[in-house]
Amino acid sequence: MKYVLVTGGVVSGLGKGVTASSIGVILKACGLRITSIKIDPYLNTDAGTMSPFEHGEVFVLDDGGEVDLDLGNYERFLDIKLTRDNNITTGKIYQSVIDKERKGEYLGKTVQVVPHITNAIQEWIERVAMIPVDGKEGPADVCVIELGGTIGDIESMPFIEALGQFSYRVGPGNFCLVHVSLVPVLNVVGEQKTKPTQHSVRGLRGLGLTPNILACRSTKELEDNVKEKLSQFCHVPAANIITLYDVSNIWRIPLLLRDQKAHEAILKVLNLERVDSIAREPKLDEWVARATIFDTLHDTVRIAMVGKYTGLSDSYLSVLKALLHASVDCRRKLVVDWVASTDLEDSTAIEVWHSSLVFNVLSLEGADGIVVPGGFGDRGVQGKILAAKYAREKNVPYLGICLGMQIAVVEYARHVMNLTDANSTEFDPNTKTPCVIFMPEGSKTHMGATMRLGSRRTFFKIADCKSSKLYGNVTYVDERHRHRYEVNPDMVPEFENAGLQFVGKDDTGRRMEIIEIPNHRYFVGAQFHPEFKSRPSKPSPLFVGLIAAASGQLDRVLQDCSNGHVVAAKHVLSNGSYTSTVHQNGHPKKLANGLSNGTYYANGNGVHA
């Protein structure tokens, strides 16, 4: 097994996750099998209980693991299926060591950070690296490890020490360290500054790790004299200094690495440059075509994203990626209008605009489609209900995900069935009309890993529905879930008599998975999260349906699916930039990085101009 470690210096948010994913892409394109591990130094056991504002979205894996969003990048870039153990946290390591201590496995020993914690980290890496993630038998050839945070962080010290020992343990030729750092350009002088990277590398070397390759983030390509200076002071060959400068879309990053011969540098460090079965040049034709096609898209499709975490785009990263995949599948340039659901609520609307109608027109009327993604808690719920009502009444394509589906059910009960007090017990435990209820197997005392999580099977009950056609008229699909509440099965007959179709159910037939309004252009809700399995070459069918309906192509897409062209199995070249307009509290919101409304380019961790 060969290992590539990706670390970051100077500041966070440089794009270590995208860099690690792109390294995996070029090595895979050379013919190697790749697996990935993400190390997060926080004490949480997993990301499940973290606020999206704190850490971005929680990505859910097939086995129910609630993990860091970078594992979503790995799965999308490499088209692999990871496990919960591919995300290592300080909490998991300490918990495993303490459990062993309680069992007496260290009997007679004083349990310490070194060697017990550091050994546990190394053993975890070696064990997980051997797990196949690409559907083939046997372990991968290369494991790409990303160390979260920034070099010098106190909480990452045990991992730095463990990785230093690990590099010695696996020996030369089996370990390659790629350090991602920042080379800023000061506007005053217009000069690329190397001192931050010099200090970062000096700190890394002082901790026992020596970088083999430098990946330098900058606004433009590094000048030759800057590379020579970095080479001299960081003790890295100039040929091994790669520039990660700003590009038009995320799919050009593997091409950047290829063009600068990053694969040759990595293969040389890993003693793989003379292996006959490994291609000398990565085969990235699909990536070239994908990046080029996206950059040439002009016809737009506007999607209103109505959520409660709109202040941070990373909160809905997988939803954004799924929309991008579907948009390019339909040959449309995606424009996202961010709408804070609290802004749609009557009290806010009256206060800001003196009329909820005026605000609704401002926020939603220009949208070709509406997405209400998942979430927890009652803040902004009324605004989401208003968004679902607007989509239903105005015949605007709608996709509700998890909570978005439950919201649609509540809205239908209130305004179509005239059950004015209909609600979810999540928001009103004493409601007289509980349309959505707490699942019997859930826990009300423990929050972490107690939801209905991971891949579950959904059976189609109505063969002629839009969802079934989009999935290729299959009898069932496996999608990933993350929820505590469900549609009240006792009210299902009442809903069906009123015209709401439950077209997808679980194997028992009592858990509702997909809803549709049959006489609507496209009104679909899913209890599962289809965005987690969307891939650039295999876009999520439900998202393709939304974009197709929003751009007037749904009939053609459904016809293609009926003719055997399954959305999820097509070869599609996709992804790239999107335009984003943010609405919050009735006004355009300035993003945290200082950018206001305009054109943004998607990367693995958010938006960069």
pLDDT digits over 450-461, tens only?
A: 788 999 999 999
pLDDT confidence of 449, banded at 50, 70, 90? low
Whether the upstream peptide bond of residue 115 has omega within 30° of 0, thus cis, is: yes
**pLDDT tops 60 at residue 334:** yes
User: Quick one: tokens of 533?
Assistant: 């399995």
**pLDDT tops 70 at residue 579:** no
Give the residue numbers annotated as catalytic, written as ranges: 402, 529, 531
Q: Which CATH number fits domain 2-292: 3.40.50.300, 3.30.465.10, 3.40.225.10, 2.40.50.100?
A: 3.40.50.300
Q: Which of 149-153, 176-180, 302-306, 357-361 has the lowest mean pLDDT?
A: 357-361
The pLDDT of 370-393, averaged and rounded, is 92
Arithmetic mean of pLDDT over the chain: 87
- Residue 448 has a pLDDT of 65
Residue 449 burial (10 A CB sphere; 0-12, 13-18, 19+): middle
The pLDDT of 19-39, averaged and rounded, is 96
The pLDDT of 328-352, averaged and rounded, is 78
**pLDDT tops 50 at residue 350:** no
**pLDDT tops 70 at residue 595:** no
Q: What is d(CA 340, CA 304) in angstroms, rounded to the nearest whole number?
A: 10
**pLDDT tops 50 at residue 602:** no
Tens of pLDDT, residue by residue over 246-289, are 998 899 999 999 999 999 999 999 999 888 888 888 999 999 98
Q: What is d(CA 366, CA 180) in angstroms, rounded to the nearest whole number?
A: 41
CB atoms within 10 A of CB 365: 11
Contact of 394 with 520, CB cutoff 8 Å? no
Q: What is d(CA 489, CA 511) in angstroms, rounded to the nearest whole number?
A: 7
Tens of pLDDT, residue by residue over 87-138, are 999 999 999 999 999 999 998 899 999 999 999 999 999 999 999 999 999 9
- Residue 337 has a pLDDT of 92
**pLDDT tops 60 at residue 354:** no
Distances (CA, A) of 315 to 29, 58, 59, 61, 426: 30, 8, 10, 17, 21
pLDDT confidence of 346, banded at 50, 70, 90? low
Tens of pLDDT, residue by residue over 5-16, are 999 998 888 889
User: Quick one: tokens of 158?
Assistant: 């045990």
pLDDT confidence of 54, banded at 50, 70, 90? confident
**pLDDT tops 50 at residue 150:** yes
Place domain 298-563 in its CATH homologous superfamily. Class I glutamine amidotransferase (GATase) domain (3.40.50.880)
More confident position, 534 or 594: 534
Q: Which of 120-134, 138-152, 355-369, 551-565 has the lowest mean pLDDT?
A: 355-369
User: Quick one: tokens of 87?
Assistant: 């995300």
Q: Which of 171-185, 448-462, 595-609 has the lowest mean pLDDT?
A: 595-609
Domains of the chain: which residue ranges? 2-292, 298-563
Q: What is d(CA 487, CA 408) in angstroms, rounded to the nearest whole number?
A: 11
Q: Phi then psi for 49, rounded to 5 degrees? A: -100, 10
**pLDDT tops 50 at residue 404:** yes
Q: Could you check whether 2-292 and 298-563 share the same CATH topology? A: yes
Q: Say which residue the tokens 């959520």 belong to.
A: 307
Q: Hey, what long-range contacts does 487-495 have (CB within 8 A, 24 or more apart)?
A: 487/405, 487/406, 487/409, 487/435, 487/436, 487/437, 487/511, 487/512, 487/515, 487/527, 488/434, 488/435, 488/436, 488/437, 491/413, 491/434, 491/435, 494/417, 495/409, 495/412, 495/413, 495/417
